[in-house]
């Protein structure tokens, strides 16, 4: 049979249709698994949650939870829930003091063990978040992203993500965004399981809790340059390449 441009067009459409169906099935199954695991985890971890709540209430004058507006899927704003690990101390101008000053002793321990993230299981139940996806960042960062960086909002944000599995706060902002976009383009159950495994070991070893010279992570100011991920010739994991100028 003679191959024509029409044959190729039909074949391409069929491939795109199959890929679209595959992504839809992945999203549906992932949402069901997120809900079920989050519900079971909340029940099993209830004693741990109560102990952490009691400790925070005792050492932080009754202040246990921290909620904040964050952009989620397609930039839709929701309120993320975490255990409170910092005081609300402000300077003479009414601005919050640096994280290193506001971070409490008990809060530092809660952050180092990632226990501060456990209340986000409620966000997962509500459908605001998933277990795996780009971490939800501050609303004020929205107008600072490049077009490529903003693609991190094409999926639900996660309690942990590909960037957290590859260095957490040891990474630069540019590197984090590159890993986020890589995850958006390569979502799969296999990658999700790899993120879980690497994140688990990162928590056990307490790696990447804070960036160099900062108690947490420095504020994102926006960039005119961004790195890109090179595809390795051996078919392995992409690596960060040289930076390219954004016009």
The predicted-structure confidence for 182-226, as pLDDT tens digits, reads as follows 999 999 999 999 999 998 888 777 665 554 545 467 788 886 444
Q: What confidence score (pLDDT) does residue 139 get?
A: 95
Q: What confidence category does residue 11 fall into, taking pLDDT thresholds of 50, 70 and 90?
A: low
**Does a structural domain hold residue 37?**
yes
Give the count of alpha carbons within 13 A of 130, CB side only.
Answer: 25
**Does a structural domain hold residue 70?**
yes
Domain that holds residue 153: 23-209
How many domains is the chain built from? 1
Q: Smallest Cα–Cα separation from 199: which of 136, 133, 153?
A: 133
What angle (nearest 5°) sits at the alpha carbon of residue 141, between those of residues 97 and 88? Answer: 20
**Does a structural domain hold residue 198?**
yes
**Does a structural domain hold residue 167?**
yes
**Does a structural domain hold residue 64?**
yes
Q: CB-based contacts of 47: which residues, under 8 Å, 6+ apart?
A: none
**Does a structural domain hold residue 224?**
no
What angle (nearest 5°) sits at the alpha carbon of residue 212, between those of residues 209 and 216? Answer: 40
Q: Strand, coil or helix: what is 70? A: strand
User: Beta strand pairing status for 225-230 and 130-132?
Assistant: unpaired
Q: CB-based contacts of 88: which residues, under 8 Å, 6+ apart?
A: 96, 102
**Does a structural domain hold residue 3?**
no
Considering the entire predicted model, what is its pTM? 0.77
User: Beta strand pairing status for 225-230 and 158-160?
Assistant: unpaired
178 or 227: whose pLDDT is higher? 178
**Does a structural domain hold residue 220?**
no
13 or 30: whose pLDDT is higher? 30
Residue 160 pLDDT more than 70?
yes
Least confident of 52-61, 143-152, 229-238: 229-238
Report the mean per-residue pLDDT for the chain.
83
């Amino acid at each position: 049979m003679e191959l024509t441009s029409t044959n190729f067009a039909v074949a391409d459409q069929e491939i795109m249709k199959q890929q679209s169906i595959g992504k839809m099935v992945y999203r549906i199954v992932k949402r069901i698994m997120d809900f079920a695991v989050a519900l079971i985890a909340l029940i099993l971890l209830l004693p741990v949650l109560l102990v952490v709540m009691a400790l925070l209430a005792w050492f932080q004058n009754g202040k246990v939870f921290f909620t904040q507006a964050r952009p989620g899927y397609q930039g839709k704003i929701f309120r993320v829930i975490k255990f409170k690990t910092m005081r609300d101390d402000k300077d003479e101008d009414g601005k919050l003091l640096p994280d290193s000053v506001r971070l409490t002793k008990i809060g530092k321990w809660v952050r180092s063990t990632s226990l501060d993230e456990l209340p986000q299981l409620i966000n997962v139940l509500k459908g605001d978040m998933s277990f795996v996806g780009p971490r939800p960042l501050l609303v004020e960062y929205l107008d600072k992203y490049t077009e490529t960086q903003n693609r991190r909002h094409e999926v639900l944000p996660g309690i942990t993500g590909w960037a957290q599995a590859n260095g957490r706060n040891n990474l630069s902002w540019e590197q984090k965004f590159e890993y986020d976009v890589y995850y958006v383009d390569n979502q799969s159950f296999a990658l999700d399981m790899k993120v879980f495994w690497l994140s688990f070991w990162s928590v056990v070893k307490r790696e990447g809790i804070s960036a160099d010279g900062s108690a947490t992570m420095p504020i994102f100011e926006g960039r005119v340059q961004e790195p890109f991920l090179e595809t390795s010739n051996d078919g392995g994991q992409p690596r960060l390449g040289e930076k390219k100028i954004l016009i």
